[in-house]
Amino acid sequence: MTSASPRLEMLGISKTFGQHRVLSEVDLVVGPGEIRGLAGQNGSGKSTLIKILTGVHRPDPGSTIRVDGAPLDLPVRWTAAHAAGIAVVHQDLGLLDHLTVAENVCVGGFPTRHGRIDRRRRDRLAARTLERIGADVSPLAVVGELTAAERAEVAIARALRDHAPGGGLIVLDESTRLLRGADLERAHTLLRRLAETGSSILLISHSMSELQSLPGRVTVLRDGRVSADLGVTVEPISEARIARAMLGDAVDEFRRGTRARPADDVPRVRVEGLTGAHVREAAFEIGRGEVLGITGAPASGYEEIPLLLTGARAARAGTAQVGEHSVDLTRAGVRHALRAGIVLVPERRDRDGLALELSVADNVTLPRLGSRSRFYLSRSWRDRQAARAIRDHGVRPAAPRALVRELSGGNQQKALLAKWLSAQPVLLVLHEPTQAVDVGARRDILARISAAADDGASVLVVSSEADDLAAVCDRVLVCTSEGDLVETSSTDSAVLLDHVFATYTEERS
Ligand SMILES: Nc1ncnc2c1ncn2[C@@H]1O[C@H](COP(=O)(O)OP(=O)(O)OP(=O)(O)O)[C@@H](O)[C@H]1O
């Protein structure tokens, strides 16, 4: 190890799954104290590269990895990577909500005494680590009760727990994606502070604004190769440059045209008295072909609406009239909701939305099986349906029989949307539909949501992304700190953010 060595060198990294080469001679170098961005279209190979660094995948021969100048044996053993100072914070942060901050920080490295966890040392270790990274969180707080920013800090503290101060490399694999506004700013401040001490940060993100503001340089992957290494010293890192390097072209914004609601339009969906743990007596209507948005301050509770409305969680009170079906939302299960034509595209695709061990074809045809006689359930029917869904939604690889668990995160999201749109719902409810997808896929998803409405569905988009709501919604409701829904004066994204900000400050005052 020399002080002049880069913190991380991944050189000539290739990876082949079966016949499919997903990484080709990728070079990625990160200096000490550098914040480096890693971007690329869904399926371009970002996660695979990180999985090689952490020992999940064995790279093809010819690959080299060095940390602080010292080579790592390949395939990487996780213990060796950890000892060299590599740490990863995953998308879902991997926190255990019912445990305390100290317990979460020490998971995988509890100090012990006579074979038992030494609680005093555990709490001290957690407090020291949190203080070192400048996180203002009590070690005794229960993680389930923390804000999104505090949760991210706990995950970062855990990742850096065993590192020498000023050393190591922390990989953030889309782990900032749930943070918004002030919470995101707080996480960025912490990351900048860490980098100033000499620790290195590799930030994987689909957020163009984050990639423009946080890293000094951004490596862009395209089809498993490095297509650009963008840096501020050459030219500012702009959204257009990142998009061009990712996709070969800049991406136009999607915007649904304004549509006037006919005066005699009888709303097809009418929700009344909807009450959950946070939402109180919410009422709203959605017309045929209308896209309604609901948003609010992070973790303010509006996030429960998609679950209450689709039978995934029982409401305390409330009914939904959907076409001729009247649904008692206090008793409804997912089956009842489906029978009434209500479909949910959930936020957590891995947990709630897809059968990961089944093929793309099985997943996208699942909602339609009930409406087909067994005689017609041929494999070729499934493959045809799947091929169409794959084409329409741009799922990659375009292989109906590929297992969903082998798709990249963003491609799983596209398969999920394809699955539920194939059900031709009366009421389509989407929760954070563009999470984890690249700029090109985001545009396509918004266009498909709009097309579903044009085909006659009533659509509800529940999202924290003001730009998505502005692009696709005819009207938007904001959930206040009291749990009421208030219609915004326009769907312009600046206006939406003002409304959300007002409820946020209201809540904290
Ligand atoms: N275990 C596996 N078996 C077969 N193919 C795989 C496996 N894991 C990943 N792939 C394929 O490797 C390619 C790269 O996937 P990867 O998850 O690295 O993409 P990504 O850039 O992280 O995408 P996203 O932004 O959508 O998360 C994809 O085509 C994916 O289908």
Confidence band of 505 (pLDDT split at 50, 70, 90): low
Check whether 285 has a pLDDT greater than 70: yes
Confidence at residue 143, expressed as pLDDT on a 0 to 100 scale: 86
DSSP for 182-245, written as a single string: HHHHHHHHHHHHHHHHT-EEEEE---HHHHHHS-SEEEEEETTEEEEEEETTTS---HHHHHHH
ipTM above 0.90, yes or no: yes
Looking at domain 1-85+166-252, its CATH architecture is 3-Layer(aba) Sandwich (3.40)
Atom of ligand 1 nearest to the CA of 224: 14
Give the distance between the most distant pair of CA atoms in the chain: 76
Q: How far is CA 104 from CA 4, 88, 108, 150, 167, in A?
A: 35, 15, 9, 12, 22
Residue 173 three-state SS: strand
Atom number in ligand 1 closest to CA 49: 18
Is pLDDT above 70 for 27? Answer: yes
Tell me if 409 CB under 6 Å of ligand 1: yes
Q: Is the pLDDT of residue 10 over 70?
A: yes
Q: For the chain, how far is it from start to end, CA to CA, in angstroms? A: 51
Ligand 1 centroid from CA 279, angstroms = 38
Q: Which residues of 372-400 are buried (b: 16+ CB within 10 A; e: fewer)?
A: eeeeeeeeeebbebbbebbebbbbbbebb
Which phi and psi angles does 263 have, rounded to 5°?
Answer: -60, -35
Residue 82, pLDDT above cutoff 60: yes
CA–centroid distance, 402 to ligand 1, in Å, is 12
pLDDT of residue 263: 58
- Ligand 1 centroid–CA 489 distance in Å is 42
Q: How confident is the model at residue 327 (pLDDT cuts 50, 70, 90)?
A: very high
Question: Which CATH architecture does the domain made up of 268-341+426-438+459-509 adopt?
Answer: 3-Layer(aba) Sandwich (3.40)
**DSSP letters along 318-387, please?**
EEEEETTEEEETTT--HHHHHHTTEEEE-S-IIIII--TTSBHHHHHHGGGGGGS-GGG--HHHHHHHHH
Average pLDDT estimate for 23-52 = 95
179-198 tens-digit pLDDT: 777 788 888 999 999 999 99
| Residue with CA at minimum distance from ligand 1 atom 9 | 406
Instruction: Kindly give the number of the ligand 1 atom that is closest to the alpha carbon of 411.
Output: 26
Per DSSP, what are the bridge partners of residue 328?
319
Over range 70-81, report the average pLDDT: 94
pLDDT tens track for 93-139: 888 888 899 998 887 776 777 667 777 777 888 888 888 888 888 98
DSSP 45-93: SHHHHHHHHTTSSPPPTT-EEEETTEEPPSSPPHHHHHHTTEEEE-TTT
The predicted structure's pLDDT at residue 352: 65
Residue nearest to atom 28 of ligand 1 (CA): 43
- Residue 251's pLDDT is 67
Residue nearest to atom 8 of ligand 1 (CA): 406
All CATH 3.40.50.300 domain ranges of the chain, comma separated, are 1-85+166-252, 268-341+426-438+459-509
Nearest CA to ligand 1 atom 31: 407
Identify the CA nearest to 508 among candidates 113, 41, 147: 147
Residues 242 and 312: their CA atoms lie apart, in Å, by 38
Q: 241: which 2 tokens?
A: 């440059």
Residue bearing the CA closest to ligand 1, atom 5: 406
262 CA distance to ligand 1 middle (Å): 46
Instruction: Give per-residue pLDDT as tens, 427-483.
Output: 999 999 988 788 888 888 899 999 999 999 999 999 988 889 999 999 999 988 877
- Is any atom of ligand 1 closer than 6 Å to the C-beta of 47? yes
